[in-house]
Structure 1
């Protein structure tokens, strides 16, 4: 009996009191452009948390503990940062460094590299619309955090690439590209509501989906949009078709994922992240 009790004690010591859950293992990639999953203090209701003054997605993982899921900006530096809880308490987490390669793209339309003043007015107006959509923070709980791929096609351009258009450096690549032919059906990676559609100078035909609590998908360069603002979309539902509208050199799907108004690497959510 004593040997049995000792064995039970040893086994219990070998198992962490709070082993990592599925969501933490899937999403916790704390690098610039990645995601940090931070365990929160126990509370009856979901604690409220912020990172860089933006509200965070908070869920209960495996029915055991509250976790905050924070998107980390590409501009973040390696080191310690903090999540702030309601009441002023802070929880630290560590960001590791990550290098992103360069991508050089040749465009025929020079306006897509250095737009003239008239085009800049349109670009700035459209940018305000899209920034407002990225700031959406609804109370809805995301239906799933292991996303489905929106199209069945190979990844053609990774997130975070330093991009040079006709030799001029521009903003890093803020999403993930899939090489798919024009007309390929695009499907919602999770249940959502359509919060914005438009035809933009750079992004072409574009759809924004709100999955809940600051988790947003954006699809652009579409050839067709088959949903409208306010539509409730189920997981796997058709939303539009792949195209090459806007600043695109050929047909493909560009997919952005945003958390707490921060663009993060979509590959994390489909289990395709490569450190």
Structure 2
């Protein structure tokens, strides 16, 4: 099957060129209208492997979770693209999933979480977007719940531009492994970008265990991008698998 190379701007499903069709999370630009806004986005409505989904009634599987080899510390460029706060990285390592290597391109945030677990949202979800040489994407989702401080978030928020019109991005030193839970059990399924063009080329891994951040840290993002999530999509003929650490 031919694969499509997705440029970094679309690998997030978020950071789009200024001249591209604008979309949003509410009103006439919201998810229920994406397919009407651009003919290339028809799959947002008719696709059968759309994301996010409710992670429930998962089947126990012996599939391993991704082998994560992220740089312990890396420089990230923090931007606000109008939909989220995104941190783009280079030479930050990557993951190996089912024998395929994927390079980490960027990570970004959603509030509330896009995926739900047994029908419940977490206050925030982080998506780590990786791309293979063939152009396929592997995204790791990490739920964030209120609790103790997540130190690297303070560095990211401190570098956050004043608004989505500010450019260029500001560099910050980030500790990627701060976002990894101690328990690496995870849900896995095949899905899509959660934003236009909703391309169905994503292998999703969502950890079953959240990481903690303070209520203040979570609120800092919620204030900037409230309700920045696509509603869950039908599972259709897919299965959600779960493996334990």
Could you tell me the TM-score, scaled by structure 2's length?
Answer: 0.28
- Give the number of the structure whose residues are more often strand, by fraction: 1
Larger Rg: 1
TM normalised by structure 1 equals: 0.26
